[in-house]
Every structure is written in structure tokens, then in C-alpha cells.
Amino acid sequence: MAEQLYNAIFVGSIYALFAVGFALVFSVLDILNLAHPVVFMLGAFVALFCMSTFGLPAGFAAVIAFLATGAFGIFLDRIAFAPLRRRGAPPLSAMISSLGFAIVVIRLMELRYGPDLTSYPAGSLPQTVVQIGDARLDALRLVIIGLAIVLMGALTYFVRATQLGRDIRALAENPRAARLLGVNVDRAIASTFFISSGFGGVAGALLGFAYNAIYPQMGTPYELKAFTVMVVGGMGSLPGAVLGAYILGIGEIAALVFLPADLAELRDALAFGLLFLVLVIRPRGLLGHRVAERA
Amino acid sequence: MTPLLEVEELRVRYGAVEALHGVSFAANAGEVTALIGANGAGKSSTLAAISGVIPARGRIRFDGRDIAGAPPYAIVRAGIVQVPEGREILARMTVEENLLMGLRGRDRSELASAYERFPILRERRALLAGALSGGEQQMLAIARALLARPRLLLLDEPSLGLAPLIVKQVFETLADLKRQGVTMVLVEQNALRALRLADRAYVMDLGRIVMNGTGGELLRDEGVARTYLGG
Ligand SMILES: Nc1ncnc2c1ncn2[C@@H]1O[C@H](COP(=O)(O)OP(=O)(O)OP(=O)(O)O)[C@@H](O)[C@H]1O
Ligand SMILES: [Mg+2]
């Protein structure tokens, strides 16, 4: 039981890191960045590259994955979103262009690495198992959970207590007011993409560490989950996305534990059913802004 | 003395429709310059063009430098700060966070000056700005702009939608700022109060400046009285 809860928190942490970046871009620009799974996958590959080619330790590789995917996020914005923004295109076109971008990058990676699993160099990841009571917990996941929590704490500090963070929130709430207050919009948007993609990339690297399996399509299953988690948490609310992520993680593991083995296929149905229930009870999401406030 | 702000032949269009047809006016340092005119005359468009938030043709010189076409953040940094129509406070941020947006990373100790001028904001500083009354929101918008250390303050209808008592307070604040030497361009529907406060005033109609003079001259002008002062 403790082991299952531990797993749920681990999965929830990965969902949270992924979803928080997705929600950040949505809150600032009102667009769904369908290329978010790409940065997730690239994060894992960057870490792999650092470790297998340069022999860097996993922790250091994760930092480089954050920086590299963050920079890639700025590039992604320049290619897929900025041109549409300049022309005042509707949010739907941004969705399509990011989807196109994602497909191109994933295919290129498949060409280079093949569609199959790649794994990290042998012995590059800690294999320690900690015994707490009768639960055997894998130390690597413990580190990953801790890291995810630290990263989300840092993000909270950044958006609440730094001027750049406030600029991003101002831009999210009221672009015209933000510009009149002297917010450098290009810089705020570039920072948004850097952070969003950096978090996505780190999530990918960490998931890669935990499952030791990386492949070009590895981000794809997370996209729909991140979208759901964001809607349930409250469109564009960062704490809401985190909360939704942990609920989904716990819901999935609960389904695994409580459903009989021959119904294990229903695991997603159960988890999503739970989220649906939340929405029925609270249509604006758990921590969403009241509609009147957004108007 | 050359004016602090010189606007020449300003043209703004929305799609196929031209809203400003060559607006020229100037604002001297230390003075209040009023822009009055009916709904849709182009007052807000003029201020928006000066702040760089809508594209415009023509020349805008501030302190001798051409700022037309500069991005809004550079214009704010140069010292032109706008209190926009409808206040545009950030409703999902606290009162204090709104004020910090004016400070832009400078030392928090400067907040004290804002709280001294508007004690109600100190009381409400931890509340979400969206929870303030209209009058309090206007105080917040003015306080926030002052924290940006404006060399030129643009005010777009600061009395709009406020109760008479609050309107009086807002104009008292503006008079106070004038005494302290803050240079202002004031757009108002409340022409009487605006002209009383103004050193120089311009009347706009249908995207053009149609008249100008000192505040006193326009107050005594019969045409202005009939059209804008309800007399
Ligand atoms: N975003 C816009 N799109 C299209 N037309 C606009 C837009 N903003 C203003 N206009 C038009 O431009 C003209 C000038 O508008 P503006 O808001 O500058 O006038 P104003 O003098 O500030 O009026 P008010 O006293 O109502 O605030 C009006 O005819 C208005 O309809
Ligand atoms: Mg107006």
C-alpha cells in the first residue's frame, strides 16, 4: 500500500512538471502548445547524450536538459507561434502549427534514433532501494519526487516574488495593461517558453531515469493527460495544474490497486472518470478564476 | 522653452477607418495640458499612440527625442506613464503587487510614498485589487503610475464612472500633483474640472484638434461652454 502511494506520488510529480509548463504557456498566451511532448522527449535525449557521450553524472545531465530544452522552447516559439502572433491569428492556428512542429521533430528523431527504446548507459543511475517499514522504496524515485517539489517551489517563488514573474502574470491577465506598465512583452514571452519547456524537458529526463526507457514518442501519452489536468485544475492556474496532476496520479494507481487484474485496462477510464466528476461538480476547475474575473 | 512633449500630425487608423487625422499639440514641463472632446473624438487613441500601444504615423517628440515607433516598455522607461481609461488594474493581483508593477524592481521602500498619499491602499494592500471599489481602483491606478516615476503622466478619464464625492477626491489629488510639479496630459469628459485645473487645453472633435487656449480662455469661450460644459 505504501509502495503504491509512493508510486502515485512519483507519477503525479512527473505529470505535474509536465502540466505546469503546459498551463503556463496557456495562461500567458491562451494557446495549447501541442509541441510540449517534444520538449519532454528532447529532455530525455539530451540527458542521454550528456551521459553516454560525455559521461556526465545524471544530476548534471538533468540540469543541462533543463537549459537545453528551455532554449529549445524559445526556438519553438519563434518558429511555431511568433509569426502567427504577429499576424493576430486565432488560437486554433497556433495549435495546428505546434502540432506540425511536433510531428516534424518526432519524425526527425525517429530517423536518427529509430522508433525503439534506448536506455541510459549501464551503471549511470543509482539502483539503491530503501526499506521503510515493510515498504521497499526505490531511492531514485525518492530523489525525483524531491526534485519535482523543489522545482515547483522555485517556480512559485519566481512567479510570485520576482519582477519578471509578476510581468508574466500581468501579461497573462491583461496584455494591454502589462504593456502600459512597461512590461517588455517579447522578453516575458521568451521567459515563459524557457521555463515551460525547461520544466517539460526536466520531466522527460527524470521519467527517462526512472523507467530507463527513452524513445521519440515517449511524450505523446502525457499530452492528453496534461490537457485534462489543466482543465480540471482550472485553465491556466499553476497550483491547479499541480493539484490535478497528483489527483490523476493517485487515481491511476488506485485503479491499478483496486481493479481486478482482468479489468486493469480500465485504469485510464477510472482516472479520467474521476477528473470528469471534479468538472461536473466544479466546472471552472479546482482552482480556476471565476469567469467574471476574467472578463 | 521647448515643450516636454510635442505631437505633430498624428494619424491613427483602425482597419480602413482613420480615427485621428493629423493631431498636433504640445505639453510643457510642469504644466497640466487638458484634452477635451465628445465621445469618439479620438482622445484615447491619441494617448494610446503616445504610449506606443497602437501603431500611428506622425512625429512624437519627448524631451527632444523622437519616440514614435518605440516599444511601449521603452516609452515607459523614458518617463511617459499612462493611467488608462477604465483603470486597467490587475484584478488577480493584490493591491501591493499592482504597486510593485509600477516600481518595476526598484526598492520596495518607495511603496511608503504611495501609502502615505493613499492610506486606504495600505489598509487594503493584501487584498486582490479586483475587490476594491471603483474609486479605490482609480487611486491604485494613479499610485501605481506615480511609482513608475513619470516625467509625464497621461491620464485618460480618471473620473469616469465615479461618484461625485470620489471625483472631487481624484481632482484634489491631481491638483496636489500639479503643485508638486508633475507634468500631466489630462483627458476628461468632465470638462469643467479639467479646464479649471489645466494651464493649456485642446478641444478635439472627430479626430482633429479644433481649438486650443489656456484653461481660462476655453472656460470663457461660449462655444465650449455650450458644447462641453452643458451651459
Ligand atoms: N479598437 C478600435 N477598433 C476600431 N475603432 C476604434 C477602436 N478604438 C477606437 N475606435 C474608433 O476611433 C474613434 C476614436 O476613439 P477613441 O476611443 O480614441 O475616442 P475617445 O475620444 O477616447 O472617446 P471616449 O470619450 O468615448 O473615450 C472612435 O470613432 C472609435 O469608434
Ligand atoms: Mg476614450
User: DSSP class of residue B42?
Assistant: S
**pLDDT tens track for B33-80:** 999 999 999 999 999 999 999 999 999 999 999 999 999 999 999 999
Q: Which pairs with CB-CB distance under 8 Å and at least 24 residues apart come from A149-152? A: A149/A13, A151/A17, A151/A199, A151/A202, A152/A16, A152/A17, A152/A20, A152/A242
Residue A236: pLDDT band with limits 50, 70, 90: confident
CA of B14 to the centre of ligand 1 (A): 9
Average pLDDT, chain A: 90
Task: State residue B189's pLDDT score.
Answer: 86
Which pLDDT does position A129 carry in this prediction? 81
Per the domain annotation, does B154 fall within a domain? yes
- Does the pLDDT value for residue B231 go beyond 60? no
Tally of domains within chain B: 1
A212 against B29, higher pLDDT: B29
The pLDDT value recorded for residue A279 is 84
Expressed in angstroms, the distance from the first to the final Cα of chain B is 36
The DSSP result for chain A, as a single string, is -HHHHHHHHHHHHHHHHHHHHHHHHHHHHS---TTHHHHHHHHHHHHHHHHHHH---HHHHHHHHHHHHHHHHHHHIIIIIHHHHHTT--HHHHHHHHHHHHHHHHHHHHHHH-SS-B-PPTTSS---EEEETTEEEEHHHHHHHHHHHHHHHHHHHHHHHSHHHHHHHHHHH-HHHHHHTT--HHHHHHHHHHHHHHHHHHHHHHHHHHH--B-TTTTHHHHHHHHHHHHHH-TT-HHHHHHHHHHHHHHHHHHHHHS-GGGGGGHHHHHHHHHHHHHHH-TT-TTPPPHHHH-
Cα of B204 to ligand 2 centre, how many Å? 12
- Is residue B130 included in any domain, yes or no? no
Structure pTM?
0.93
Residue in chain B nearest A173 by alpha carbon: B90
Q: Is the pLDDT of residue A295 over 60?
A: no
**pLDDT recorded at residue A3:** 83
pLDDT, one tens digit per residue, over A99-114 is 999 999 999 999 998 8
CB A233 within 8 A of CB A243: yes
| B108 located within any domain | no
Is residue B114 in a domain? no
C-alpha angle with apex A70: A80 to A125, nearest 5 degrees? 130
Return phi, psi of residue A12, to 5°. Answer: -60, -35
Where residue A293 falls among pLDDT bands split at 50, 70, 90? very low
On whether residue B224 sits in a domain, the answer given is yes
Give Cβ neighbours of residue A23 (< 8 Å, ≥ 6 apart): A226, A230, A233, A235, A236, A237, A238, A240, A241
Do the chains contact at A293 and B148, CB–CB below 8 Å?
no
Q: Name the burial class of residue A193, with classes exposed (0-12), middle (13-18) and buried (19+) by CB atoms within 10 angstroms of its CB.
A: buried
- b/e string for A46-61 if b means 16 or more Cβ within 10 A? bbbbbbeeeebebeeb
Could you read off the pLDDT of B158-174 as tens digits, one per residue? 999 999 999 999 999 99
Q: Average pLDDT in the A87-104 region?
A: 93
Query: Looking at residue B121, what is its pLDDT?
Result: 97
The torsion angles phi and psi of A5, rounded to 5 degrees, stand at -60, -40
A271 band by pLDDT with thresholds 50, 70 and 90 = confident
Residue B112 lies in a domain: no
Share of chain A above pLDDT 90, in %: 60
Domain of residue B74 covers: 5-90+148-228
Rounded Cα–Cα distance for residues A85 and A91 (Å): 9
More confident residue, A285 or A177: A177
* pLDDT tens digits along B195-204: 999 999 999 9
- pLDDT of A178: 98
CB contact (8 A) between residue B84 and residue A289: no
B84 Cβ closer than 6 Å to some ligand 1 atom: no
Q: The domain that contains B168 carries what CATH number?
A: 3.40.50.300
Give me the mean pLDDT over the A116-130 stretch: 79
**ipTM of model:** 0.95
Q: Give Cα separations from B66 to A111, B18, B58, B171 (angstroms).
A: 53, 23, 10, 31
Alpha carbons A137 and A129: distance in angstroms, whole number: 6
pLDDT band per the 50, 70, 90 thresholds, residue B134: very high
In a domain, B73, yes or no: yes
* Shortest CA gap B88–chain A (Å): 6
Question: How is chain A split into domains, by residue range?
Answer: 2-219
Is A163 in CB contact (< 8 Å) with chain B? Answer: yes
CA-based nearest residue in chain A for residue B97: A166
Q: Where does the pLDDT of residue B127 fall: very low under 50, low under 70, confident under 90, or very high at 90 and above?
A: very high
B98 assigned to some structural domain: no
Interface contact flag, B53 A179, Cβ < 8 Å: yes
Q: Which residues, 6+ apart, have CB-to-CB distance to A204 below 8 Å?
A: A39, A40, A41, A42, A43, A44, A47, A65, A69, A214, A218, A219
Judging by DSSP bridges, how do beta strands B32-37 and B200-205 pair with one another?
Answer: parallel
How far apart CA A128 and CA B33 sit, in angstroms, is 74
